[in-house]
Structure 1
């Protein structure tokens, strides 16, 4: 059963066998109270938090298709989705999915614990019917089917493994306990050497940006450092778009109160002859006992022998321990420094729910592209060859311009 609800600007679909009602909302505000209640759960990704999604929609003018599931009058889930066009295909996806490291949606613990195969089928059918006039394909990417000791409600649904995994470090009571599984003796020696070398270069301060002006200046510094890094590698700058930069500026200025912080900027600021220059930056988000490193950058000309980026990770992890954080997340992407720090590797999946013929073709293409990327990234020689080709192509384009 589907009908329009003018007062909430939503579409309702009711699945009678379990009395699951799925509503389609085109605005966030009517759901704010329930949204904020659901997002308190440690299981829920901070990327589906209300403030993070609001910042994205304000800076990108998103076409929202937010789904709320209700059973017996109680909200049991919210899926914060937006619809984007990819060619001729309308794709419903998590809000701001290009810059999310992990997606869970917002589900009550009770719903998660009872999401068996029968309920999964009902859920998938209800989502497809609720979005039948909005999208050709529902692509819910970067979902960990096993996360924080629980199975995701979509686990078992037809999906493809995402080409990138994410990496986490569980935090114990002290730095010594935390790094014990990570070749602690070698890591402590490296840390002492980094301190010695950076002190020889004039010393440093560990800065946590406070105040609007300092946050703005540090974020602009990050954008410059990252642009230089992408340019040197011959890669496209994913932070270049004005709306992307506006989003991160807005998120940085937000404050949820308490320990929850949508985006906090940490940096190593040099002293001595290099006084005031920023050697490394990290953007951290916290929700509950979970911190995600959203991004990082370095100035390769400033004390490179001290590895300021690695040094900054030590400092922020040390502070996270003092603040009672249980899980430090380095996010998506397989990098050597992540493997040096992390003892957990999390597999993520892309759930693809085609609604129309165009959506079925797009789902097939998505699977093909993902599997191809997985093969390429699993072959270091092939991956390096493609990276060199991209760099040469970009350099040639720049010369022609």
Structure 2
């Protein structure tokens, strides 16, 4: 094989890039790649398999190999919208961070010319299947490591993500924040709940508990969205089936595609669930995928905030090093998170239609960013969207 271009290291350019339409033949190498700490759990085998099993979708899984070594896997699906065929990450509309799956050898490639050539290979592999490749919510720098595709054309996504580093103890962790104020708030929340009988922090363990709590989350979220005049992105039966299936999937050890935590009240509101959160864990990285509250009980105690305190305290005790609040700029996230991660959308046109779509997507993303920078305009837009039906994604 010819040598790689000057400045590159690792695999050489004559790698083979193929598209697969089934996950199962790739499972062994897929699971091997996903163990890398820098690869997002949203491209993990179990997460993608749950989506494919619950949705009528067209997988287009890109695998690059060099000899007998798998260099990367991009778990994509083809989605058609307004006559444009888009190759995008599987389950991307419910992903908080996307990286793809890359081997250490591929990550060692540092040459811009080499990487742009590989981008061309990616386009060629999908030429008859899609008009555009859209890789959303990709951090070009993640956990101090640059993304291999950082040289490909991209635009800053309108949503940022927020993280809390978990230090050696919970005390050290909250010392990064206003620890005195946060402890005072925690004591106040606990005291208010104790007046009415107390509470338990529960984790759903049995299939019956998980299913019941999942259904309750969907109910609470529907009420919340309606009260705010927002579309319910969890309303579709296939979306609900996806999350139910994730709950039943064993990630192995402490890893889990989805685990439900809740505040269950005692005494005056015996058995009532005041707050729910869904967490995923891969290695030392925990992501909060979603959360809900029941504002009809104990709202004055801010049970959602209380639940975050308890989950973060538990995460510290279980040797996690990063608690990720996911995408979306909200006050409670900023109050917890000293780290803000900028994400990008990588846009690669394939056809003439795709080139037009890239221009349109760039314009839409810039417009969304401008709207989100104006709270009054954003609130008005959300009310209008609520009247026209649910959104296709959670990050609009």
Q: TM-score range by the shorter chain?
A: over 0.9
SS in 2 for 1:182: coil
User: Structure 2, unaligned stretches of length 5 or more?
Assistant: 1-10, 390-396
One of 231, 235, 260 as aligned partner of 1:236: 231
Who is 1:175 aligned against? 170
Q: Distance in 1 between matches of 2:179 and 2:111?
A: 42
SS in 1 for 2:278: strand
Who is 2:3 aligned against? none
The answer to whether the Cα contact below 8 Å between 1:20 and 1:71 also exists between their aligned partners in 2 is yes
SS in 2 for 1:18: coil
Q: Distance in 2 between matches of 1:271 and 1:92?
A: 49
One of 270, 277, 287 as aligned partner of 2:272: 277
One of 154, 157, 160 as aligned partner of 1:159: 154
> Where do residues 194-233 of structure 1 align in structure 2 (5 Å cutoff)?
194-233=189-228
Who is 2:282 aligned against? 287
SS in 2 for 1:66: strand
The answer to whether the Cα contact below 8 Å between 2:164 and 2:324 also exists between their aligned partners in 1 is yes
Who is 1:328 aligned against? 323
Flag the 1:388–1:92 CA change in 2: closer, same or farther, 3 A.
closer
The answer to whether the Cα contact below 8 Å between 2:116 and 2:151 also exists between their aligned partners in 1 is no
How big is the shift at 1:56?
0.2
Q: Distance in 1 between matches of 2:205 and 2:228?
A: 32
> Where do residues 31-42 of structure 1 align in structure 2 (5 Å cutoff)?
31-42=26-37
> Where do residues 26-65 of structure 1 align in structure 2 (5 Å cutoff)?
26-65=21-60
Who is 1:22 aligned against? 17
Q: Distance in 1 between matches of 2:60 and 2:174?
A: 43
Who is 1:89 aligned against? 84
The answer to whether the Cα contact below 8 Å between 2:42 and 2:95 also exists between their aligned partners in 1 is yes
Flag the 1:109–1:393 CA change in 2: closer, same or farther, 3 A.
closer
Q: Distance in 1 between matches of 2:382 and 2:145?
A: 37
Flag the 1:224–1:123 CA change in 2: closer, same or farther, 3 A.
same
Q: Distance in 1 between matches of 2:12 and 2:312?
A: 48
Q: Distance in 2 between matches of 1:307 and 1:51?
A: 33
SS in 1 for 2:97: coil
User: Structure 1, unaligned stretches of length 5 or more?
Assistant: 1-15, 395-401
Flag the 1:136–1:389 CA change in 2: closer, same or farther, 3 A.
closer
Who is 2:302 aligned against? 307
Q: What's the RMSD between the two structures over aligned residues?
A: 1.3
Who is 2:369 aligned against? 374
How big is the shift at 1:55?
0.3
Question: More displaced, 343-352 or 198-207?
Answer: 198-207
How big is the shift at 1:379?
1.3
Q: Distance in 1 between matches of 2:95 and 2:118?
A: 23
SS in 2 for 1:61: coil
Count of residue pairs brought into register by the alignment:
379
Q: Distance in 2 between matches of 1:101 and 1:115?
A: 26
Who is 1:268 aligned against? 263
Question: More displaced, 123-132 or 66-75?
Answer: 66-75
SS in 1 for 2:310: helix
Who is 2:347 aligned against? 352
SS in 2 for 1:181: coil
TM-score w.r.t. the length of structure 1 is 0.92
Who is 1:246 aligned against? 241
Flag the 1:189–1:160 CA change in 2: closer, same or farther, 3 A.
same
One of 376, 379, 387 as aligned partner of 1:384: 379
The answer to whether the Cα contact below 8 Å between 1:55 and 1:251 also exists between their aligned partners in 2 is yes
How big is the shift at 1:73?
2.5
SS in 2 for 1:92: strand
TM-score w.r.t. the length of structure 2 is 0.94
Q: Distance in 1 between matches of 2:250 and 2:312?
A: 21
Q: Distance in 2 between matches of 1:388 and 1:55?
A: 32
The answer to whether the Cα contact below 8 Å between 1:160 and 1:367 also exists between their aligned partners in 2 is yes
How big is the shift at 1:116?
2.0
The answer to whether the Cα contact below 8 Å between 2:231 and 2:386 also exists between their aligned partners in 1 is no
One of 177, 180, 184 as aligned partner of 1:185: 180
The answer to whether the Cα contact below 8 Å between 2:247 and 2:259 also exists between their aligned partners in 1 is yes
Match status 1:114 vs 2:103: no
SS in 1 for 2:201: strand
